[in-house]
Chains A and B, each alone.
Chain A
Amino acid sequence: MTYRQRLQLELDKWRNFRRALLRDEREAFDGLVDQVFRLCHAGSMYPERDTFDLFMMSALISHEGRLKTLEKELRLGMKVDERLPIRHKSIW
């Protein structure tokens, strides 16, 4: 089976989970799935790994990428080992 097929099979298992999500949550779920499908080329290079592990790693990478894009848009850099260079105004 190809990675794409295995991924689809894994997602089928989540059918009931998805069914219980509310509309906006469900949209977020589907959006995440779509992002993961964009990284199939990498997933297919690690076939011995559990499919859900690959799903998770792909989802994280897509989030990392989108964070980078947001940073660029907002013109600020967030480094892993530094605190956010934003002064949060406490709402309390």
Chain B
Amino acid sequence: MRGYLLDINPSGRDEVILWIKCLDGRVVSHRIKWMPRIYVHGSLENLVKLGRLISQRYLIDFVERSVKPGSPPETVLEIKVPFGDKRRLANLILDLGNHQLFKVYNVDLPSMQEFLYQYDLHPTALIDLSSDGFKVLDSIEDLDYDLSWVRVAHLDAKVETSSIAPKFSDRLEEVVIEMDGERIVLDGAEDGILQDLTKTLDDLDIDVIITDGGDSFLLPYLHYRAHANGVKLRLGRSRDPRMFKPSPSTYFSYGRVYWGFKLRGRIHIDSSNSMLYHETGLDGLIEVSRVARIPIQDAARYTIGSCMSSLQYYQAYRLGVLIPWKLSRTVYMDCWSLNRADRGGLILDARTGVYWNVAELDFKSLYPTLMLKHNISGETVNCECCKDDGERIPELGYHVCKRWRGIVPRAIELPLRKRMRYKDVIKQVRDSRLRTLYKSRSDALKWILVTAFGYLGYRNAKFGSREAHLAVCALARDVLLKAIRIAEENGFEVIHGIVDSLWVQKDNADDQDYLELAKKIEDETSLPISFEGRYRWIAFLPSKTHPGRPANNRYFGVFLDGRLKYRGIEARRRDTPPIVRKMQLEILEKLAEARDPEQLREKALEAIEIYRGYARRLILGDVSIEDLAMTQVLSMDPDDYVVEARQAVAAKHLERAGISVVPGQAVTYVIAGTSGLSKAVPIQLIEEGSYRLKPYLTMLEKATHTMITPILESLKAPHRIYDMNSM
């Protein structure tokens, strides 16, 4: 029997259930006897004693494993542990050894991942199931894998409530299931709705349920209503886990997540509790689940860092390297070496002004590529074995192992290579639906690659080290400096550079010239570089606080093909109200029409009319309240703010209305007055038309200045290397 692996979950003490969607559409569950393992390292004598002690209760074995990457295997004690018992047992063993005799490993390796690693399985894998086990028929390296069998539905509910925060005691009014553009509404009596819900999900044979707030409210709420009505509700394909005992006064505090509400045999994704789903959709999420071998429901709720770690754990698992539980890695560095080493990427500030015919060249996934190419991993940088003959890191004098290939480079090779392949395919594919699919998958892999570097220096990363992190930065600086030199030697002026991107300019150079430069840099550094495009013009802006100094990453411009790019201006900021964003983008579109400096000046003057239009609408009250809403994240408890910050004021409003707000949560508000509580009123509580005019007018004005002033000024005084007008 052939089918796709939808999900896995533990069952009882020692069983794993595989949910398989057969090719004929049936869903079957298949049980495998299996238990997670932990490993104990210590002297052989002590291990034998420990083994005798616990062998009555646990299955044990003596096996050969490496306790450190690259070190030879040693004899360790393997213990099979029932689900959910790893930590308790590990702590017990540490206590038995007085926290000195034993070290425990693989304790925080999630069990379902360990299962997938062991069987070389991955979610959505095509498998062939027979009486003597199963065989995996596809590979995580595949770019094209069939997902047409996945039946996805969106689930939402309407709650009969008088307040802005629904409570568990509020009656369920209706449930809406949306699938393939079709809407099914279940309404009527509560018990009827809930009974119908289970049946409808089964009838439609749903595999994936997507909710907005299902973890924090919807699913626990539905279960509570079922409980209150004496109805049996099942949202998965077998009994839902019982994990919630709410009281009727439990209310929905928006954006706050209590736990993940995972189903069995059916996948639940809470879009508001899944960064991966939010950023890259179901396609990106499944790609990461496959590549990193994490059950989809877990991957949806993990941070990207945890997804990336799974890639490393898999490599370690396959190599027989154990994963330490508690890290005791203190590396001391004196102040001077830290000062020398602890630097990020190179930033070459742009000289403020408007430039024409500028090309942007980006190194493709520079940091991960460097990690792969130079074998950078926690255990390879400054290793014991290659002090004399290891590869040297520029500036720092560190050395890198040449005898052992690091866990980190092994782990990032697949996502890195696969992403490049996706990018190549995207260029060739005509079908826009396929292009979007590959794009989501490649974006999801990009997230993994981005965190791969950050995690290298993270305190709790199992296979990282600070030196490795610093080594990558040093290599990246070296590469960017080399690239700058090559550009200059070929007659280009380097205008701006940030970490892995360069903006270069040469009058009259065309795409071909820039492509040749990219090729030269690629050849000399042996690192892939991409030509992002040629700007018709690009304006680099000065610092806001020090107008005489440049600011990095504050620019806007238009590519020859009409694409707009802007960074660091108001339109990019989250706390900018939509009205300001819309105006600024409209101005940018106006400016983008210019074909030469003279026209650009004219367009800049015309853009002032756009500003006037928006200001007029604001004065006449011809704006919706949503257009004025500003969103900010609370960095601390609303009562802890010393100055009366607007976000804190807005949070106080919400608290009065019975909604708790915690640090880290975003609040959306409108400015309605000058002081007190009117300073910021949450969007949920504001009345239409009650906003304060002046701050919004000032915001419009400032945003217009950002766009227009550099253009008008640059034309007044043509750009020079050292701008004398600024003195």
Contact = CB atoms under 8 A, between A and B. Distances in A.
Interface in B328-343: 336, 339-340, 343
Contacts of A48: 336, 339-340
What class of interface size applies to chain B in its complex with A? 20 to 34
B122 to A, nearest CB: 42
A51 to B, nearest CB: 11
Interface string B683-727: 000000000000000000000000000000000000011101011
Contacts of B722: 35, 62, 65-66, 69
A18 to B, nearest CB: 14
What class of interface size applies to chain A in its complex with B? 20 to 34
Interface in A14-42: 30-31, 34-35, 37-38, 40-41
A90 interface: no
B719 to A, nearest CB: 12
B546 interface: yes
A41 B351 CA distance: 12
Contacts of A34: 546, 548-549, 726
Nearest to A41: B348
Contact of B343 (A2, A30, A62, A66): A2
A34 B720 CA distance: 16
Task: Tell me the dominant secondary structure on chain A's binding face.
Answer: helix
Given A41-B348, A47-B343, A31 B548 contact: yes
B333 to A, nearest CB: 13
B413 interface: no
A39 to B, nearest CB: 9
A86 to B, nearest CB: 20
Contacts of A2: 343-344
Nearest to A44: B343
B340 A47 contact: yes
B339 A47 contact: yes
A38 B351 contact: yes
A69 B720 contact: yes
A63 to B, nearest CB: 9
B150 interface: no
Given A41-B348, A69-B720, A31 B727 contact: yes
23 contacts: A2-B343, A31-B726, A34-B546, A34-B548, A34-B726, A37-B349, A38-B349, A38-B351, A38-B549, A38-B550, A40-B347, A40-B349, A44-B343, A44-B346, A45-B346, A47-B339, A47-B340, A48-B336, A48-B339, A65-B721, A66-B722, A68-B721, A69-B721
Interface of A: 1-3, 30-31, 34-35, 37-38, 40-41, 44-45, 47-48, 62, 65-66, 68-69
7 A-B pairs with least C-beta separation: A34-B548, A37-B549, A41-B348, A66-B722, A31-B727, A65-B722, A34-B549
Given A44-B346, A47-B343, 11 more contacts: A30-B548, A31-B727, A37-B349, A38-B351, A38-B549, A41-B349, A41-B497, A48-B340, A69-B720, A69-B722, A69-B724
